[in-house]
A and B are shown apart, each in its own frame.
Chain A
């Protein structure tokens, strides 16, 4: 037994708090961030680190990192379809690769390679399109045939004796997975160290508005005054923005996932099939992490359903028949904030001093570092960074959408 575990069990030795105890509230903050998920915390960290703004408070109605950040299946990739999307996620990948050093916490970032299987000619065409856009922007992506696929992922069932035989795939070598909790905790701790306050179990219930500007947030612990306010609340985005009269292009839909019990290392790459609506990877713990597309209707409830698991397993077993006897260990859901174009909404809103970070649907974990960095820049300078411009809320009034459905509807 390791010594540390033994001393802990015997109650010896000093127990260090991971995060400091909450302090009494200050009179006024420079920035208040609603939502202590990865996005809110990363924004707080970059406000402090890049812009010297440390009088920041992050509030969460639950616990830190307990929303979609805790529920996601941690796929990190940059092989998107649009130039705007690819450039944005490419920067996030670069930040992710260095994140453990940056935050002084092991995020267990593990480059696995990411395969998007094609079972139809149409899917192969989309793969080719994505590969060309990606290569043009310096992101490693290529279309591979069955022969190469067999080398990259020998475990995959390439037989023709299935309902939807695999024809080829889009291969994205930098595709990775990471430890989601470590990302949230790492940003939280690094933000704390720079003076940021984090207040859990505190729900934003309304706003104080004076002459069209937000000046404070009403919370379950009273009103907190702040010069600028950011909302980063994922599936609850519409409900919160509604209190300010802001309409969002968002539908809240559950996204379910599950893991098997741990097994010996078996599967290196992340395997996604857009046509079969499933994806799978094997975590560092040996669990098979599996999921698919969102539920069929809007819902503010994180229940799990049998339909989801039946659909999922039917197709997973076609791709990996070896898993037929694997046992499921856990299942859960998160509330995905889905947009019509499968792209996020970031930046300014019609209300002064109020900034939004939403529309992350099923794809926002990988964007945590870049979104935190660029949202911080937007809030600190009150100017929209070039990388965020295509994702403004106003794009829906301008009919100027950033269509990412072909690259984001299943492969999160």
Chain B
């Protein structure tokens, strides 16, 4: 794992903490939004942005990984990731807030 601070380290030093999602508003979030945030993961077969923890140093960071090959494509410190996200008009890897059930 290419840690954004420590460089390449053995994968056994890290824990995957799940996809980067935007949390519903603490007071105004609906039950449905919370259910989706907590339980109804997209579980994508493909490229995802995830939280990872470097356990020995307690460093949280973001890694972009391909869940079909386990290849780690890029990593960022939280600050670098935020800056990168803000530059884009449509941030990636945030869950769709709508909950309408469309067919197909």
Contacts and interface: CB of A to CB of B under 8 A. Distances in A.
Interaction A to B: yes
Interface string B60-86: 000001011110000000000000000
B25 interface: no
The residue in A206, A207, A252 that gathers the most chain B C-beta atoms within 10 A of its C-beta is A252
Contacts of A298: 16, 43, 48, 67
The residue in A206, A242, A299 that gathers the most chain B C-beta atoms within 10 A of its C-beta is A299
Interface string B19-49: 0000000000001100110111111110010
A380 interface: no
A301 B103 contact: no
A405 B32 CA distance: 24
Contact of B40 (A307, A351, A396, A399): A396
A6 B56 CA distance: 62
Interface residues of A, number: 31
A248 to B, nearest CB: 7
Contacts of B89: none
Given A207-B104, A296-B16, A397-B32, A301 B41 contact: no
Nearest to B69: A301
A209 B67 contact: no
Nearest to A249: B39
A298 B16 CA distance: 9
Interface string A235-251: 00011001111111111
Nearest to A208: B104
B103 to A, nearest CB: 4
17 contacts: A207-B103, A209-B104, A238-B41, A244-B104, A247-B41, A248-B43, A249-B41, A250-B43, A252-B67, A297-B65, A299-B67, A299-B70, A300-B67, A351-B101, A351-B103, A396-B39, A399-B35
* 8 closest cross-chain pairs (CB), A and B: A238-B43, A297-B16, A209-B103, A247-B40, A245-B102, A249-B39, A396-B39, A300-B45
